[in-house]
Amino acid sequence: MNKISSLRKNELIEFQKALNLNFKNIFLLNQAFTHSSYVNENKLSRLESNERLELLGDSVLNLITTEYLYEKYKSYNEGDLTKLRSVLVSKPVLAKASLKLNIGKYILLGKGEEASGGRNKESILSNVFETLIGAYYLDSGLEKVKEFLKKTFLENITIGEEVNDFKTKLQEVIQSKYKKRPIYVISGYFGPEHRKIFLVKVCFRGKVLGKGKGTSKKEAEQQAAREALEKMNFKF
């Protein structure tokens, strides 16, 4: 597909303006939006679909997301970071991000896939998010992709909404049995003023159930709640 109609070119320019993108190679952007059903229906080469870009985009997205979480959640261990990453790069979360960026509007689909609602399918939306990342990486490099992902994806996600909310779970466990809530107490902090690490205890009836630390009080409370649940052998 080495030709793009003027109408299609205008659509791609519209997309870029909305997200402050500037592809040097507009054919790469077009390929990122080209679903295999469109390729099959129009008897194009399989290499003209976005499937190869999806593989690349998946790897780039994982790298940038891992680095972002590593820097942001300094008190989290390997298991915590792996869990966060797996949620953030999951199909539901990526599909939600695609919807916010209005990506579905620009996907090239075969008539059958279009008729079956493919433009709003979670699997297609999540895959095209990855193909866009792969295309942008090839076009503009890693730093530009990092900048794009931070602005439009990573910094717009409320982690608590996407992963286990340990405070809520602990509260549910205790309230179901005792009809009262646990109490969170700041037991101290350390580090420079601009990078404090908070220490928190979660207590109930005078007993410390768990301890946590984090770069914010909220993060430390979540870690304390998680430790309390682990001591209770709570499965999550």
Q: Are residues 115 and 189 in the same domain?
A: no
Q: How many domains does the chain have?
A: 2
- Which residues are marked as active site? 58, 130
Residue 99 has pLDDT above 90, yes or no: yes
How does the average pLDDT of the chain come out, rounded? 90
Q: How far apart are CA 236 and CA 231, in angstroms?
A: 12
Residue 236 counted as domain residue: no
Q: Are residues 111 and 219 in the same domain?
A: no
Please spell the DSSP secondary structure of 96-112, one letter per residue: HHHHHTTGGGG-B--HH
Q: Are residues 46 and 143 in the same domain?
A: yes
pTM of the model: 0.70
Contacts of 192 (CB under 8 A, 6+ apart): none
Let me know: does 167 contact 193? Beta carbons within 8 Å: no
Q: Are residues 99 and 45 in the same domain?
A: yes
Give the tens place of pLDDT for each residue, 43-97: 888 888 999 999 999 999 999 999 999 998 887 888 878 878 888 898 888 999 9
Q: Are residues 150 and 222 in the same domain?
A: no
Task: Tell me the CATH number at 209.
Answer: 3.30.160.20
Q: Are residues 103 and 216 in the same domain?
A: no
Residue 1 counted as domain residue: no
Asked which of 141, 162, 183 is the last residue of a domain, the reply is 162
To 5 degrees, how large is the angle CA 184–CA 227–CA 210?
Answer: 40
* Structural domain boundaries, residue 115: 6-162
Instruction: Return the closest-CA partner of residue 124 out of 34, 30, 29, 61.
Output: 34
pLDDT (average), residues 130-156? 96
Q: Are residues 193 and 148 in the same domain?
A: no
Q: How far apart are CA 161 and CA 158, in angstroms?
A: 6
Residue 235 has pLDDT above 60, yes or no: no
Q: Are residues 56 and 172 in the same domain?
A: no
Confidence of residue 2 (pLDDT cuts 50, 70, 90): low
Asked which of 113, 146, 162 is the last residue of a domain, the reply is 162
